[in-house]
Structure 1
């Protein structure tokens, strides 16, 4: 798993080489849908997760913010999902890696396109648009950018639909026409439902609607509870209990010849509210020196230097942040495979001149520029197991 990931053999600074790279091509979110589609004979798909037995009808239920470590820590709150873990009676569930950064927009694009971030081109929460020089929020799609220019690859749902597979997404009506849905999850039919129960029931119906079916459904509120209250709060645990019942509800309705896969886009870690754990970029003149734009998020920063200052910014950030962060130049991070085995040319300059990925329970906040994000209890984005490992649970009928 993530602790034993191999690295590119080219010499790199120790801080970069010690970062555990996501398991692209063998055990990441980007490998799930292509594996399922390959099992349904969709052309061009590769079964990288070869241990998954093909099924005629496949459903992926993505629970926003449900990390593997958080699930393992609360089996009493999620008894049904806990019963699906390897080591439980009949359970085969194991962790896979989200991809870097471990954040929603990046992960949804990875799962929907079947491609790592370096290819699909959503390599962070906010990244610089090389065409305008402005930060682009890829979750909220602000400022607006033509979606198909930003992410031109077809989704697995589109390819499956073209191959005669019944493809459907069942989610909140809010997401139906968003640019992120369009570039990451479109293809076939979108069906909006407000409640989790209605989504589970409709997902089961959509599975039965075709001889070959590929259905995706989604639940966001666990992630929101973690950001606001933390991943061991009563509110978060209440959401975990609820989502466990949703998984069981869907599992009990699976039509014949079906497989349900429960996964997530990232895990989460709580960060204490003090100056040692929350380093404020807006108050730190050393970190600000030579920086034109600060992108990404607290635990996975993209740093864009003023022209000619990239080397100085890299040296400064390494010195100031010490062993609390993995700090890499753009080229070092690309060579190390943080964004996948290749980075498309159109994506290259979206990545920061300098990358800072948290290895301890710390953040680089920006209290003035990002007041809401800086006030969150639970955070994610980096390559630690708590953020990077997500469950892959399986139920078959």
Structure 2
């Protein structure tokens, strides 16, 4: 098998460079953004560009000036842990090391949750994610930096891994978060402000994209972002990934015979990390799984993933050891489960992400305020 990365539309920017571009705009040195006195990065978790365009009538503030070029390409895996970290560090998953949702800690030979398991799984945010954040870099240059989000996230391990260097400011509703972010940008000239809106992602997981609940969440976010941007403040609105709906009849449960020779199943249903037993024949395992999952998923070896740049141009040694021996990337509208009790609990999710479809990889890149000129 010769694996090839799906191509992005010509000229599409990557989310990896967004935060650094904002800082360059504050210095008047960005090649793509006008100069601004302060900058706000708004991340709408789980909002793909295709889904947004398909529901433009429910998001008129967001899509009023949206063109075909107003998109960005997110990273792989298309999951929150990997993509949000790339947005806030400016490096690819192979460099910051958060290469999926659940991965193996090679030192302890256990699976760890890189989104919500920092405390329970014993991960040190300062060492497990070692890349400096954009907030640390901006603060080192004398800029005020803020992160506006839900109070529940203020002291989480994921926040300390990805937002360190920023002063966390809690706000309860989407409207309050946007208003707070804009006020901070206006009150602190030269500031870099991050604003996180998870409502669309949560509605999509529970009810599905285009459900009444998802549409209501999108409308609320759109309303929150319809307020006036303060003078000389530039705003970029983007996302970490998109989402597809996976109905129950498209869910594939891997049986024991499929997982023979597999020690751990990590990742998430649309992108599994498979870790082989130490004595497994890797070549035979790869051939068997490719045959078993033909038409359901692409099965990519760790070596192929690195050689094709799937996780970025640089893969550090510590990140390399966290990547599965095999990556199982769902094709079409499918999700794969390993049949364990823990995994079965996740089968209630309708909206899912992690793979390489355009719905998951293409996200909006919208400019407002000083950046719209």
Partners of 2:164 and 2:220 in 1: CA distance: 27
Partners of 2:65 and 2:44 in 1: CA distance: 15
11, 16, 19: which one aligns with 1:30? 16
237, 261, 275: which one aligns with 2:236? 261
- Determine if contact 2:230/2:369 at 8 Å carries over to the other structure: no
Alpha-carbon deviation of 1:188? 3.1
Partners of 1:200 and 1:385 in 2: CA distance: 28
175, 197, 204: which one aligns with 1:226? 204
Q: How does 1:24-63 map to 2 (within 5 A)?
A: 27-41=13-27, 50-63=31-44
193, 204, 223: which one aligns with 1:245? 223
For structure 1, which runs of at least 5 residues remain unmatched after alignment? 1-12, 88-92
Alpha-carbon deviation of 1:311? 2.1
Alpha-carbon deviation of 1:385? 0.3
Alpha-carbon deviation of 1:355? 0.4
- Which residue number in structure 2 is paired with residue 99 of structure 1? 75
- Which residue number in structure 1 is paired with residue 96 of structure 2? 120
- Which residue number in structure 2 is paired with residue 380 of structure 1? 353
Partners of 1:285 and 1:168 in 2: CA distance: 48
Partners of 2:342 and 2:260 in 1: CA distance: 16
- Determine if contact 1:22/1:98 at 8 Å carries over to the other structure: no
Alpha-carbon deviation of 1:111? 0.7
Partners of 1:391 and 1:26 in 2: CA distance: 11
- Which residue number in structure 2 is paired with residue 108 of structure 1? 84
* TM-score of the two chains, using structure 1 as the length reference: 0.88
Partners of 1:36 and 1:185 in 2: CA distance: 16
Q: How does 1:151-300 map to 2 (within 5 A)?
A: 151-249=129-227, 252=228, 254-274=229-249, 277-281=250-254, 284-300=255-271
Alpha-carbon deviation of 1:54? 3.1
Partners of 1:258 and 1:170 in 2: CA distance: 16
Partners of 1:288 and 1:192 in 2: CA distance: 44
RMSD: 1.8
Alpha-carbon deviation of 1:356? 1.0
Give the 3 Å change call, closer, same or farther, for CA 272–26 of structure 1 in structure 2.
closer
- Determine if contact 1:225/1:239 at 8 Å carries over to the other structure: yes
- Which residue number in structure 2 is paired with residue 68 of structure 1? 49
Alpha-carbon deviation of 1:86? 1.2
User: Match of 2:57, SS?
Assistant: coil
- Which residue number in structure 1 is paired with residue 111 of structure 2? 135
User: Match of 1:364, SS?
Assistant: strand
Partners of 1:322 and 1:196 in 2: CA distance: 43
User: Match of 2:62, SS?
Assistant: helix
Partners of 2:151 and 2:263 in 1: CA distance: 37
For structure 2, which runs of at least 5 residues remain unmatched after alignment? none
Q: Could you list the per-position Cα deviations for residues 158-217 of structure 1 after superposition, in whole angstroms to 9, with x for gaps in the alignment? A: 110111112111111111111111111121311011111211111111101222111000
* TM-score of the two chains, using structure 2 as the length reference: 0.94
User: Match of 2:310, SS?
Assistant: coil
Partners of 1:94 and 1:379 in 2: CA distance: 23
